[in-house]
């Protein structure tokens, strides 16, 4: 199914042991026109990216002391 309305991604960043990671920078890139969204997780490791137009995207995260994903 294709959606005509913008979409959202809401989540929590955690390590392999389940500990939340505050301050992680997430980058969502792609879609029509190669749009970019950047957010940083809050003190509970939570983030939200709202108003994402439909399309194919890549997401990665970066935080000091961890490998970039």
User: Which pLDDT score is estimated for 66?
Assistant: 74
Q: Are 47 and 7 in contact (CB under 8 A)?
A: no
CA–CA distance, 69 with 59 (Å, rounded to integer): 8
60 Cβ neighbours under 8 A, 6+ residues apart: 26, 27, 68, 69
Q: Quote the pTM value.
A: 0.80
Give percent of the chain with pLDDT exceeding 70.
90
- Alpha carbons 38 and 56: distance in angstroms, whole number: 16
pLDDT score recorded for residue 32:
83
Helical (H) or strand (E) element with 25: strand 25-30
* pLDDT score for 12: 95
pLDDT in tens, 18-31: 999 999 999 999 98
What's residue 3's pLDDT? Answer: 46
């Amino acid at each position: 199914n294709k959606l005509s309305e913008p979409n959202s991604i809401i989540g929590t960043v955690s390590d392999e042991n389940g500990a939340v990671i505050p301050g992680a920078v997430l980058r969502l890139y792609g879609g029509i026109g190669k749009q970019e969204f950047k957010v940083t997780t809050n003190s509970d490791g939570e983030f939200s990216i709202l108003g994402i137009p439909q399309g194919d995207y890549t997401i990665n995260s970066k935080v000091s002391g961890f490998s970039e994903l």
